Structure 1
């Protein structure tokens, strides 16, 4: 759930880069976009993988 929220929040940052005129702010915004997307993706699929492993362990016993 947290990973999905982070990925959805990243959508707003994807549209914000065209409004910045400051090059230093643009660089920080680009780094933040990539970091948030990677963190959100990892949290989403980490939870899915944990559920999959738990289901596999329970079904093979």
Structure 2
């Protein structure tokens, strides 16, 4: 199994942050909470960020 470089983990973090930003742009907090699919997508992106940060911290 090949190891990913730190740069790739940083790219994952940046891409997930951009995705989150696009998912919540122009929507109210109440509308966001009521939109289960959008809410779940944002949670998944935060999971990706957490996994990438965890991999960076273990190096």
> Normalised by the size of structure 1, how large is the TM-score?
0.53
- State which structure, 1 or 2, has the greater radius of gyration over its C-alpha atoms: 1
Alpha-carbon distance between aligned partners in 1 of 2:52 and 2:37, rounded to the nearest angstrom: 22
Q: Where do 4+ consecutive residues of structure 1 move more than 3 Å?
A: none
Question: How many residues were matched structurally?
Answer: 42
Higher helix share: 1
> Normalised by the size of structure 2, how large is the TM-score?
0.54
Equivalent of 2:27 in 3, 10, 14:
14
User: Are 1:46 and 2:17 an aligned pair?
Assistant: no
Any stretches of 5+ residues in structure 2 without a counterpart? 1-13
**RMSD between aligned alpha carbons?**
1.9
